[in-house]
Amino acid sequence: MLNDFNSWYKTQPLFTRTYVSVLVLFGIIGKFKPSYLWYLMFDANKIFPLQIHRLFTHYFFSGTLSFSFIFHLLFIIFCIKNCEMMFEGSNYADFYYMILYFFITGDIMCWLFDYGFLSAAFCFALIYVWCKRKPFETVRFYFGFQFKSEYFPWVLIAFHAITDQDIVQDLIGLGIAHSYLLLKDFLPVTNSIAIIRNTLIFQKLCEQTHCEICTIFKETDLINNNSSNLKGNNSFKDKEYVQVDIQNI
């Protein structure tokens, strides 16, 4: 079972596995040390006294470790993975540039609406971008309900409203993602105005860093696989050696 989980974890895209791993880490911290969550939440009064990490850490907490947290984690994986896979290849820098845009605009929303954590809005923004760029994918929701991905954001908002969940974060994520698509996809085509343009320096930095991290992961996986194979071969040789001794006796 552990090997199956390890194989599944390795198949996840880089940002997806990193984001989910940090969510689990902060979920465990919040479970056993709730007071530490204060250092993660967004607080405009604490940012300027050299607590710059508050601009980003509030996106990486989505609840303490629990049974419902695991189901919510599966939904987060679905949201981030589908969006990240659209950018695989030569335009991976555009994905990180979009993440940076979400973080900056999300911080402004946190300041305006007085939110401490905004991970739900961040995930909703990612799923909104995926649904707009991949509108004809089939989505399977609860109770076997199926529909096209273009309706998924509205179904999600309705579901959260019916189950008495916070739809304000959904609306914040919708506004952030819609503004990104407006500035990135719509205005350059209609008015030839490119406000959100990925710089060459940022693109090279992201591509180089992404390749180096992927190389490290691949080398680590190769070492682990070789170690496992070596242990398996040694155990096989030991068994064979015992059988030979028994036959000689």
Contacts by 217-221, CB closer than 8 A, 24 or more apart: 217/10, 217/14, 221/10
Does 110 map to a domain? yes
Does 109 map to a domain? yes
Does 226 map to a domain? no
The one-letter amino acid code at 71 reads F
Does 246 map to a domain? no
210: Cβ contacts below 8 Å, ≥ 6 apart: 14, 92, 96
Does 41 map to a domain? yes
Does 234 map to a domain? no
3-state secondary structure of 140: strand
The string of pLDDT tens digits covering residues 102-142 is 999 999 999 999 899 999 999 999 999 999 999 999 888 87
pLDDT at 90: 61
pLDDT at 131: 94
Total number of domains constituting the chain: 1
User: Which parts of the chain register pLDDT below 50?
Assistant: 222-223, 227-230, 232-249
Does 93 map to a domain? yes
Does 26 map to a domain? yes
Instruction: Tell me which residue range forms the domain holding 32.
Output: 2-198
Instruction: State the CATH number of the domain containing residue 151.
Output: 1.20.1540.10
